[in-house]
Chain A
Amino acid sequence: MTGARLELAGLSKDFRGLRAVHDVGFTVPAGAIHALIGPNGAGKTTIFNMIAGVHVPTAGTVSLDGRKISGLRPDKVCDAGVGRTFQIVRPFRGLSVLENVTIGALHRRPHLPDARHAAEAILQRLGLADRRHQPAESLTLPDRKRLEVARALATEPKLLLLDEVMAGLRPTEVDVMVAFLRELNAQTGLTILLIEHVMRAVMALAAHVVVVSYGEKIAEGTPAEITRHQAVLDVYLGEEEVA
């Protein structure tokens, strides 16, 4: 696993005339951890879905290491090296935790015993090993979030898209996840782009933050710069009304 460079250029998406994302462009260098933040409905998940191949952009391109991936089917995007989690977790409910991750691992390892072996190792790292024979639907929310990450990692991505994996976690659990992601990134050089509302995690992880509002990029910079950025403050705290 090594990281890949993600580049978004002029990315737009209209849903039957409703403009969800307009002309968004940014770059995540190989091996970096970047965050995508913004108020609810700003278009963050739509951007993720365009990267992951769920939506075809109305305009603009997504490329991974210089290769255009926008317009590809989600499974082809996965082939290209993009792993993603879902904001609303989507485990294979009736299957065991181990089977869930094994299915991810089968992507690069066609033989079931090899895939299962790789899945065991990932579950160990994410602290889910003792629950591996439980059905996925029996897991608690924090464990389901971890399962999402484990299943995505099992496909051996070069870019990992994390859609609010910290939401619903307790502060101590957030710290555990942050430590895991940081270590993963340091060890493997995996590129990570995260959508996150938990600022504690954004500050601890991301070297660079992109802010979107109403489908447009309004700012980007280091976490420190972003917290002082006027447009960002306006979006989060509300503009002062002139009476």
Chain B
Amino acid sequence: MSRITPRVMGGLAILLALLLVAPALLGGYGLSVLILVLYFAYVGQAWNIMMGFAGQLSLGHALYAGLGGYMAAGLYFHYGIGPWAGMFVGVAAAVAAAAVVGYLGFRFSLAGVYFALLTIAFAEFTRIGFDNWPWTGESGGMFLRVERGVTDVANLRGGPVLFYYVILFLAVAAFVLCRLLLESRLGRYWLAIREDAEAAQAVGVPVLKCKMLAVTISAALTALAGVWNAFYYNNLFPETAFAMGRSIEITLAPIIGGLGTLFGPFVGAVVLTGLGEIFTAVGDKLDIPGIKQVFYGLALLVIVMYRPAGIWPWLAARLGIK
């Protein structure tokens, strides 16, 4: 277990201070990149609870983000209910969906890829459902009105700086929450289940209950990311909100950064977003269509080949932490 020593604490304090003043130091482009980093760090942290801690592979997390986003955006769009209230509905919807997916999967002991297939199936048929549900605007999408220069915190309307601070808060809160969870009985029970569910049950771990808690907590946090996402981008389409690609991109930061580690999702998000931006720039220079994706894919391949446990465990060892 990573111990949070005074040295690490100091490093974290400096990092947090820098993040707090970042909007004053960075231009519009820099801030938008940092927003992406924090978004992927946050949503990766949420997914990591299920896979990294409890060992349950979900490849359908777009379901929870999509439900969160659609519920909050729909309530605002149709009834003018702001996202601070709407997020509760979004979270409730995601938790309900997660409870169904989790119960079906865990009660009937679907493991590994079979469970993963179930998560994909739920995201897919929710996508098809939303494509045909008039309340969501169907496949034509749902658009939130954009008012330039207006900052309305109550309705989460405003510029990038507002969204930056919201996602920063979420990322920090998720980090602290995961740390607390990991250092609790529930967290240790998750690790035991990840390592060997049958042995865990023999030492008194209520396996089904712990797995259900993992999937619902993970879904609730992911739904908040969805709410943030919907209000940041101001548009939602079933085709993208519940897409397989969306689910996959949620998983990348923790996998690259280090599954089951607290710092992994953040480190992974920095590396992935950084590489993404560099390859976009290189692609623009070279003017070869699709070259960005090729570079990006190769980079992921190289990282996973040489650091299969992720970048963070290796980095932590080099920094002498742990």
Contact = CB atoms under 8 A, between A and B. Distances in A.
Contact of B195 (A86, A95, A111, A154): A95
Interface string A107-126: 10011100100000000000
A103 B192 CA distance: 7
Contacts of A154: 203
Given A75-B207, A79-B204, A106 B199 contact: no
A94 interface: yes
A73 B107 CA distance: 13
Nearest to A148: B199
Interface string B188-199: 110110111011
A115 B186 CA distance: 13
Given A103-B192, A112-B183, A86 B204 contact: no
Nearest to A84: B202
A202 B206 CA distance: 33
Interface string A51-70: 01010000000000000000
B192 A74 contact: no
A52 B204 contact: no
B200 interface: yes
Contact of B205 (A75, A91, A99, A115): A75
Contacts of B198: 54, 74, 90
A145 interface: no
A54 B197 CA distance: 12
Contact of A103 (B184, B203, B206): B203
Given A75-B207, A106-B189, A91 B199 contact: yes
Nearest to B193: A92
Interface in A194-237: none
Contacts of B199: 86, 90-92, 151
A99 B203 CA distance: 13
B151 interface: no
A73 B188 contact: no
A19 B189 CA distance: 35
Interface residues of A, number: 30
Contacts of B196: 90-93
A72 B60 CA distance: 33
A104 B189 CA distance: 9
A152 B190 CA distance: 18
Nearest to A106: B185
B108 to A, nearest CB: 15
Contacts of A92: 191-192, 195-196, 199-200
A12 interface: no
A103 B202 contact: no
A164 B183 CA distance: 34
B204 A155 contact: yes
A107 B189 CA distance: 10
Contact of B201 (A73, A94, A102): A73
Interface in B197-242: 198-207
6 contacts: A75-B207, A92-B199, A103-B192, A112-B188, A151-B199, A152-B202
Interface of B: 1, 183-185, 188-189, 191-192, 194-196, 198-207
Interface of A: 52, 54, 73-75, 78-79, 83-84, 86, 90-95, 99, 102-104, 106-107, 110-112, 115, 151-152, 154-155
